[in-house]
Amino acid sequence: VTGQDTWTAGELARRTGVTARALHHYDALGLLRPSRDAGGRRRYTAADVRRLHRILALRGFGLRLGEIGQLLDGGRADLGELLRRQLTQTEERIAAARRLRRDLREVLGRLDRDTEPSTEELIGLIEVMVDMNTRLTPEQLAEMTRRREEMMAELTPEQLAELRRRREEATSRMSAEEREEANRRRAALLPD
């Protein structure tokens, strides 16, 4: 019984995978306004369905609903330009997510290797990593030094020895290139 030529919001939702609420939302925004039947129910025609497909396609490319509306109507927006901007943003997001992944793996790796560090210690480790990946202002640098001295002052001699041991171990596992790279990265953090 597919001889119908209009669909309700629910039917369309089931067909396309979007929720009925999303269709209401597009209606409220003026992005997709179906006609109504006598009872006030939304009635989507084939043309409405086509428009919905375009909306979903453009949405999938990261465009805002407002931008989509401008494109589909007057066309006051330049699709090529919008897509180029999306590409730039997407590339930035990929790069940022990769850095985050690297750091998460690093922290989780230590969590597995070390003898169950406490949450306390883990947070400390994360803090240090975040500091290392942030380009520091002179003020922040001074602050970091101050904090480090504070922390060091609170350690027992045994803890200090352990810290030194771990640091040496980490350095000894590095190749010459890795050591150079680590130095470069450290230097890059300092203000220009």
Partner DNA sequence: TTGCTCCTCACGTCACGTGAGGTGGC
Provide the minimum distance between the beta carbon of 179 and a copy of itself in the complex, in angstroms, as a whole number. Answer: 26
- Please tell me the distance from the alpha carbon of residue 52 to that of residue 72, in angstroms, as a whole number: 11
User: Binding partner of residue 19 among DNA, a copy of itself, none, CB under 5 to 8 Å per kind?
Assistant: DNA
Stretch that binds DNA, among 5-13, 116-124, 138-146, 149-157 (CB under 7 A): 5-13
Q: State which of positions 12-51 bind DNA (CB under 7 A).
A: 13, 18-22, 24-25, 37-42
The tokens of 82 are what?
Answer: 């919008």
Nearest CA among 27, 26, 36 for reference residue 58? 26
- Name the amino acid, one letter, at 62: G
User: CA angle, 165 as apex, 159 and 167 as ends, to 5°?
Assistant: 105
- Please tell me the distance from the alpha carbon of residue 11 to that of residue 185, in angstroms, as a whole number: 57
Give the binding site for a copy of itself (CB under 8 A).
2, 14-17, 49-50, 53-54, 56-58, 60-62, 71-72, 75, 78-80, 83-84, 86-87, 90-91, 93-94, 97-98, 100-101, 103-105, 107-108, 111, 119, 122-123, 126-127, 129-131, 139-140, 142-143, 147
